[in-house]
Structure 1
Amino acid sequence: MAAPMVQALAAVGLALCGLLLWRWRGRVRPVGPGLVCVAVLGDLGRSPRMQYHALSLARHGRRVALLGFLHTKPHNDTLCNERIHIVPISELKVLQVGPKILQYIIKVIAQVLQLLYALMKIDHPSYILLQNPPGLPSIAVAWIVCLVRRSKLIIDWHNYGYTIMSLTHGTSHPIVNIAKWYEKIFGRLSDHNFCVTNAMKEDLQMNYNIKAITLYDKPAAFFKETPLELQHKLFMKLAKDYDSFKARTESAHPDVEKSAFTELDVRNGSLAHVKERPALLISSTSWTEDEDFSILLKALEDYEQYINDGVRIPSIICVITGKGPLKEHYNRLIDAMHFKHIQICTPWLEAEDYPLLLGSADLGVCLHKSSSGLDLPMKVVDMFGCCLPVCAIYFECLHELVKHDENGLIFRDSNELAEQLKMLFSEFPSIDGKLQLFRRNLQESKQLRWDESWDQTVLPLLSSN
């Protein structure tokens, strides 16, 4: 019974697509330098790379239609740029009845119509720059629109959608196999392709016959070390809502303003770190299945025991930022651990506060494993932009970003992470320890920023077309 229904729904969807295309047939104009549609079938606020694309295009005089969901507020630089027009789309909620595969097919057909309408409604774009994943159904829809409106399609490959789906459904599930076939076939229809690693570039060429240009994620200019004055303001702001940032002891003088990490004498403006302050550890996550935060919790548990055994190492305030489906699950685990020397805080930060916090931290931890083994964690890119050393869990192409024992450390399990934390904080906050060595290496590395990388990689392609 399901097959005839699916066929009928597909036929209706295609018929409506045809009607919409006929409706807009008269609006087709030749390709020329003008508007670029930067599109993602996801949350714009949590798609920093696509925001960076939009800002770079605007910086070079292009008008930009930035299309996606608006669950999370984008960065102010994006919102305030007069050349960037945000085109919000709504995330569709499908009625939870019938077989799941049927629900999924109905959702895809609805998204086809929604995207088609949104992409045909905007002014004629010279290019549609599309993020993948998610690519189902956005790649096919974008290609159809480009065909009708004589625009060019650029796909920015962040990962493979089918590998992310396989985390939930398993590698042999029909939907996963369909998604893999879909990406392979429709990905070849693009005019140009970018990807995030050389490993993905080689895989696209070998297995998909797609030629791509590697455009590494690079930190935006606002990811940098945070001056102590701004650190203090941030800590005092966060202390209003989160106990972890409040001072451990009351100030002896009413004119001294204290946080857990800093103290300001308002009489003379003297500002310094608190003596014997805790170490500030930060990790960023989308709280999904591809990041196992039990690894971090187990490592912190071992670290706590190390202190209980009498070893003189600092206490830790661990800040885990982000939101996602598993956040409440891990918050319950955290509440049950009853740490004495470790505090864990899971705030949701404003876009402008996140780089300030990274630039104030002592160490970052990354638990991103990559469903394909071919993408790199942008959170580490941002941390490196702030000259923040990182401990990152191993996966196949991580060496393209994290250089073990140079700008951070790579671990494989909770025991190895625990030993790294003990070692890195054993001389804290001495400027002679390995943690500070990693920071100096990052400071001296003269990292390429997003604008420079984009101008070298993307701008020539657009200029030649």
Structure 2
Amino acid sequence: MAASSVAVPAMILFLPPLLLLLLLVAWKRSRRGNAARHVVVVVLGDIGRSPRMQYHALSLAKCGFSVILLGFCSSKPRDDLLHNDRIQIVCLTELQRLAVGPRLLQYGVKVVYQSVHLMWKLMWTEPASYIFLQNPPGLPAIAVCLFVGCVCGSKLVIDWHNYGYSIMGLVHGPHHPLVLLAKWYEKVCGRLSHLNLCVTNAMREDLAENWAIRAVTVYDKPASFFRETPLDLQHLLFMKLGRTYPAFRAPAGPSDSRIERSAFTERDMQSGVVTCSSGRPALLVSSTSWTEDEDFSILLTALEKYDQLRCDGERLPALVCVITGKGPLKEFYSGLINKKHLQHVQVCTPWLEAEDYPLLLGSADLGVCLHKSSSGLDLPMKVVDMFGCCLPVCAVKFRCLHELVKHEENGLVFEDAAQLATQLQTLFSKFPDPAGKLSQFRKNLRSSKILRWDESWEQTVLPLVAGT
């Protein structure tokens, strides 16, 4: 009797959602004829900070597919994506972390909410031939997309950027039960996908050997808008940034011990060559998501050593160091930066609009990458973008970096702050001499004829989905 008294209210509670789900399934199946040239791209993260998935969407649209792009809308994507008639952005609502309760409970509530919310959004979208999913984050997105794919006849394509469990391991430790559960989840669910893409050959081999997942390597490639910035656009960019960030402002009076920022524009606008042999500060750029897999104390320590060398009379240019990006550790590192007392180095940490970031890279003299893969199997897309702008790079060493950065050819590889400081001293010792090593790296990049994203995508991914 007690059991029946509980069962009846439970049936009344769950019957409407179940009926609605069945109606949605019937509706989706009735519209399967529209799915052949339709794809859903899913990012369980900020679309504006997921360039590779934006590129997938743009390439699919260029090749005649209609695309729905699902993700968080925290920052603005590129204008060419926003204004593309074949691409519709559907915003997911991000659940803010609960302020009370055990951390495991907070995480569980977030996963349940994301599962229901993502499933609801996917069920209401047009039926798709493929669901492209970025991993990580894959919990709970892989399972949800697999379920929706089974219901609606969509094929799941997982684009492996890294392993989610390895990123969790940076916070909780590799043997934490939650990390081990996440690893099992990725392994099991990943095997159920129709197609797998990955970012390096090392990851492709690891997926095959340890997870029995066959994947196709699709290297990150720079989009066409990553290129060297013309001098007139450099000037406009510096003027725009100078309205917000003091490091880009010209000094109002006589020069002092700080940086003469106005010298950035002391160039011959006709020939495009630097007209000043001294005085112009060098522009160093790094970009980051401010997460645990990037140790920016390495760069800050190297900048201190560089600043001391210049104070000791070394013939080195002053530096403007721009670190772009958003992320959880930005406040922590901003505090460290504010405590530094550098005389010949200025550090600023702006968040740039999508259209300004390529212009900044194309205006810079050197890029620095501190991405140290949690799995050792992915490559930093920021370096790909820098190379697209023919910008030489100093990058911290990890397992498969050699697939991208060629030491002493297109940049330098370092292991600690002391090595980075030495490399900065070497590269800028003859700045901006065209015969210097920095200029030679740039010449090597110019002559390498870097393959662009559209060409690479059409060679590797299009043949895999063109038969739909």
TM range (shorter): over 0.9
Q: Distance in 1 between matches of 2:14 and 2:346?
A: 54
- Aligned partner of 2:400 in structure 1 is 397
Q: 1:417 to 1:26 in 2, by over 3 A?
A: same
The alignment partner of 1:37 has SS state of: strand
* TM-score, normalised relative to structure 1: 0.92
- Contact (CA 8 Å) 2:199, 2:219: kept in 1 or not? yes
* 1:236-251 correspondence to structure 2 within 5 Å: 236-248=239-251, 250=253
TM-score between both structures, scaled by the size of structure 2: 0.92
Deviations 1:84-133 (A, max 9, x none): 00000111125333222122112111111000000001111111000000
Structure 1 residues 293 and 273: CA distance shift in structure 2, 3 A = farther
Out of 443, 448, 453, the residue aligned to residue 445 of structure 1 is 448
Match of 1:296 in 2: 299
361-370 vs 239-248, which moves further? 239-248
- The residue that corresponds to 2:127 in the other structure is 124
Q: Which runs of 4+ in 1 moved over 4 A?
A: 13-20, 249-252, 263-266, 268-275
Q: Which residue of 345, 358, 378 corresponds with 1:375? A: 378
Residue identity in the other structure for 1:22? L
Give the distance between the partners of 1:423 and 1:271, measured in 2 at CA: 22
Judge conservation of contact 1:229–1:271 (CA < 8 Å) in 2.
Answer: no
> Aligned in 2, Cα 1:147/1:400: closer, same or farther, shift over 3 Å?
same
Q: Which amino acid aligns with 2:284?
A: L
Q: Which residue of 2 aligns with 1:214?
A: 217
Question: Is residue 71 from structure 1 mapped to residue 74 from structure 2 by the alignment?
Answer: yes
Q: 3-state DSSP class of the match of 2:331?
A: helix
Partner of 1:3: none
CA–CA separation in structure 2 for the residues paired with 1:17 and 1:218: 44
Unaligned runs of 5+ in 2: 1-12, 256-260
- The equivalent position to 2:348 in structure 1, one of 345, 349, 368, is 345
Deviates more, 1:68-77 or 1:324-333: 324-333
How far does the alpha carbon of each residue in 1:115-165 deviate from its partner, in whole angstroms, 9 at most, with x for none? 000000111111100000000000000000010000111000000000000
**Correspondence list, 1:36-51, <5 A:** 36-51=39-54
* Structure 2 residue identity aligned to 1:420: Q
Separation (CA, whole Å) in 1 of partners of 2:199 and 2:14: 33
Shift of 1:464: 3.0
Cα shift at 1:272: 6.1
Deviation at 1:271, TM superposition (A): 9.7
Is 1:226 aligned to residue 229 of structure 2? yes
* Runs of 5+ consecutive residues of structure 1 not aligned to the other structure: 1-12, 253-257
Counterpart of 1:325, as a letter, is P
- In 1, Cα distance between the equivalents of 2:293 and 2:16? 37
Preserved contact between residue 239 and residue 249 of structure 2 (Cα < 8 Å): yes
Cα distance change on mapping 1:237 and 1:158 into 2, 3 Å: same
Cα distance in structure 1, aligned partners of 2:387 and 2:14 = 47
Q: 1:221 offset after TM fit, Å?
A: 0.3
Q: Which moved more, 1:280-289 or 1:90-99?
A: 90-99
Distance change (3 Å), C-alpha of 1:276 and 1:61: same
Matches within 5 A, 1:162-201: 162-201=165-204
1:232–1:259 Cα contact (<8 Å) kept = no
Match of 2:414 in 1: 411
Which AA in structure 1 matches 2:87? I
1:15 offset after TM fit, Å? 9.1
Cα-to-partner distance string for 1:404-444 (whole Å, 9 max, x where unaligned) = 00000000000000000000000000000000110000000
Cross-structure match for 2:280: 277
Q: Conserved in 1, the CA contact under 8 Å of 2:40 and 2:131?
A: yes
Larger deviation, residues 325-334 vs 115-124:
325-334
Query: Taking structure 1 as reference, are residues 178 and 444 closer, same or farther at Cα in structure 2, changes over 3 Å only?
Result: same
* Structure 1 CA distance for aligned equivalents of residues 132 and 311 of structure 2: 54
* Matched residue type, 1:432: A
User: What SS class does the counterpart of residue 291 from structure 2 fall into?
Assistant: coil
Aligned-pair identity in percent equals 63
**Residue 32 of structure 2 is aligned to residue 22 of structure 1:** no
- Give secondary structure in 2 for the equivalent of 1:423: helix
User: Does the 8 Å contact 2:231/2:272 carry over to 1?
Assistant: no
Distance in 1 between the 2:152 and 2:275 partners? 59
Q: Which amino acid aligns with 1:306?
A: L
Aligned 8 A contact 1:263 1:271 in 2: no
Do 2:268 and 2:274's aligned partners in 1 also have CA atoms closer than 8 Å? no
- Kept in 2, the 8 Å contact 1:239–1:259? The answer is no
CA distance in 1, matches of 2:92, 2:396: 35
Question: How many residue pairs get matched?
Answer: 449
Is residue 2:314 matched to residue 1:314?
no
Alignment of 1:418-429 (within 5 A): 418-429=421-432
Q: 1:305 to 1:141 in 2, by over 3 A?
A: same
Letter in 2 for 1:39: V
1:172-206 alpha-carbon deviations (Å, 9 max, x no partner): 11110110000000001100010000000000011
Deviations along 1:51-88, one digit per CA (max 9) or x if unpaired, are 00000011111110000000010011111111100000
Q: Which moved more, 1:226-235 or 1:92-101?
A: 92-101
- Whether the 8 Å contact between 1:244 and 1:260 is mirrored in structure 2 is no
Q: 1:360 Cα deviation (Å)? A: 0.3
Cα distance change, pair 121–245 in 1 and its aligned pair in 2 (3 A): same
How much has 1:14 moved relative to structure 2? 10
Q: 1:271 to 1:159 in 2, by over 3 A?
A: closer
CA deviations on 1:323-349 (whole Å, 9 max, x unpaired) are: 111112111111111111001111111
Q: Which amino acid aligns with 1:214?
A: T
Matched, 1:356 2:359: yes
Superposition deviation, residue 30 in structure 1: 3.5
C-alpha offsets along residues 1-24 of structure 1, whole Å, 9 cap, x if unaligned?
xxxxxxxxxxxx999985553231
